[in-house]
Amino acid sequence: MQARVLFFGKLKDIAGSAERCVEFRSGETISELFERCASQKPELAPFRSSVVASRNQEFAPWTAVLESGDEVAFLPPVSGG
Amino acid sequence: MQARVLFFGKLKDIAGSAERCVEFRSGETISELFERCASQKPELAPFRSSVVASRNQEFAPWTAVLESGDEVAFLPPVSGG
Amino acid sequence: MTTAAPSPTADLVQLGREPIAADALIRHVRQAHDGAVVTFDGCVRNHSHGRATLYLEYESYESMAIEKMKEIAASLHTLFAIDGVAIAHRLGRLEIGETSVFIAVSAPHRKAAFDACRHAIDTLKKTVPIWKKEFFEDGAVWADGELPPLPAATPAAKPAS
Amino acid sequence: MTTAAPSPTADLVQLGREPIAADALIRHVRQAHDGAVVTFDGCVRNHSHGRATLYLEYESYESMAIEKMKEIAASLHTLFAIDGVAIAHRLGRLEIGETSVFIAVSAPHRKAAFDACRHAIDTLKKTVPIWKKEFFEDGAVWADGELPPLPAATPAAKPAS
């Protein structure tokens, strides 16, 4: 199973790209998806507590279970306006 | 001694004019000036409690003592905006 | 490089019979050191208390009204961390949809701009000697209003101007 | 004659790289049955935390941001007695003095227009996925922001769109 993962703002700079595809196993959560990204890019790990996640353009809890084809974004504090 | 008295809004309609000169005696207050106006135009009397007064373009208490040449206005509730 | 303290923008206060030029008021208050401009546009509604309004007429004790409007503008600077203030009120006959009052306030941050703009219109409606007459199909009435608060009795008399 | 119930004005929500046409947003919300229009203009300040700003860049998770902006506009109608809402946010590079966000709210009475306009910008700054990068003479930083509140854990998964 595969998710499309998006990074924005400061997190995009740290991830080194705006977007990647990440493989995951059935039953995994958004939190586990973040760990997969952080294992590829360890600099992401410290941001776990200061970002929120969205799933298919809706804010989602870390415990949300993924489905194949989901679009998940990791969003640092927003600063529009 | 003489004061210039101005009426506005509903009060102008009742007074029948926007402006008049009123003679008063030394030591008289704005309240006594209103009574002089109401004695000339009795329809004004009921409005004593629902208007405020100004003296020389500043809101003034009814107890303010007049000087000759004062401009006194009787102002119904304001409704600008 | 740090930013120099910006010079304050002079208040702009208008009372007249011409249509209000809202764009000019906004341009007046909007400076490079401001992060927020809040405006209030009071417009002539097509109804009042369930009746269709045809048009309005505003009259004013003009010499006093302009002073009261200036006092409101000045007070905003002491009450709120704002930059520029523009307040305009129109007099005479106004048609449906026209602007009777327009207020623009600029500030470095939005909270002060909102608070000040709201305070300005709330205070204007309570203290500025302007009166509105509403014209309906079957007649005209002076609008209900608010009685301005009077000062406490003053011992010293102010000389005639 | 009594006034007919006015038809509601459709919300206008924009997110793009072109300069924001504030006049058009105001005209969109300003109807004959409205007595008040309140606007918020968020502009690029020439300083931030005591440093001179050169310019800003805004980026966004656009598909989600436009939905969140529509949700804010819709929520205003349930929270406040308002008529029309227009919300626009600009992306890309913005120079000092340019408008990054503009909100216009119309209502029969002023209190609802003020409350709704303020609620809209406060909520936008907390929940819409837009990020601001500030450029100074000696470098650039992502602005501090607010972490959007997360929903409680949901048992039902939402299918991919």
Q: ipTM, 2 decimals?
A: 0.93
According to the CATH classification, is domain A2-75 in 1.10.150.20? no
Tokens encoding B54: 């100004």
Q: Do A59 and D150 touch (CB under 8 A)?
A: yes
Cα–Cα distances in angstroms (integers) from residue B48 to residues B19, C43, D40, in the given order: 17, 32, 43
Question: What amino acid is encoded at C58 in this protein?
Answer: Y
List of chain C residues with pLDDT < 50: 1-4, 157
Alpha helix ranges (H) inside A4-74? 9-15, 30-40
Which residue is listed with tokens 């504090």? A77
According to the CATH classification, is domain C12-139 in 3.40.47.10? no
The yes-or-no reply on B/A contact (3 CB pairs or more, < 8 Å) is no
Q: Per-domain residue ranges for chain C?
A: 12-139
Q: Which residues pair with D21 in a beta bridge?
A: none
Give the pLDDT band (50/70/90) at residue D160: low
Cβ neighbors of D131 (< 8 A, separation 6 or more) are A8, A9, A10, A76, A78, A79, A80, D58, D59, D60, D142, D143, D145
Q: Mutation test of the interface with chain D: which of C26, C38, C94, C135, choosing the one with the most D Cβ atoms within 10 A? A: C38
> For position D151, what pLDDT does the model report?
80
> For position D57, what pLDDT does the model report?
98
Tell which wins on pLDDT, B67 or D157.
B67
- Digit-coded pLDDT (tens) for D66-92: 999 999 999 999 999 999 999 999 999
To the nearest whole Å, the CA of D82 is away from the closest chain C CA by: 14
Question: What amino acid is encoded at C92 in this protein?
Answer: G
**D96, closest residue in chain C (CA to CA):** C32
> For position D41, what pLDDT does the model report?
98
- What percentage of chain A carries pLDDT values higher than 70? 100
DSSP assignments along chain C, one per residue: -BPPPPPPPPPEEEEESSPP-HHHHHHHH--TT-SEEEEEEEE--SEETTEE--EEEEEE-HHHHHHHHHHHHHHHHHHS----EEEEEE-EEEETT-EEEEEEEEESSHHHHHHHHHHHHHHHHHHS-EEEEEEETTEEEEPP-BPPPPPPPPSSPPPP-
Q: Which residue among D60, D101, D153 places its CB closest to the CB of A63?
A: D153
Q: Which residue among A8, A69, A77 places its CB closest to the CB of D59?
A: A8
Q: Please check whether residue C57 touches B, CB under 8 A.
A: no
> For position C151, what pLDDT does the model report?
80
Cα–Cα distances in angstroms (integers) from residue B51 to residues B10, B12, C104, C129, in the given order: 10, 12, 31, 12
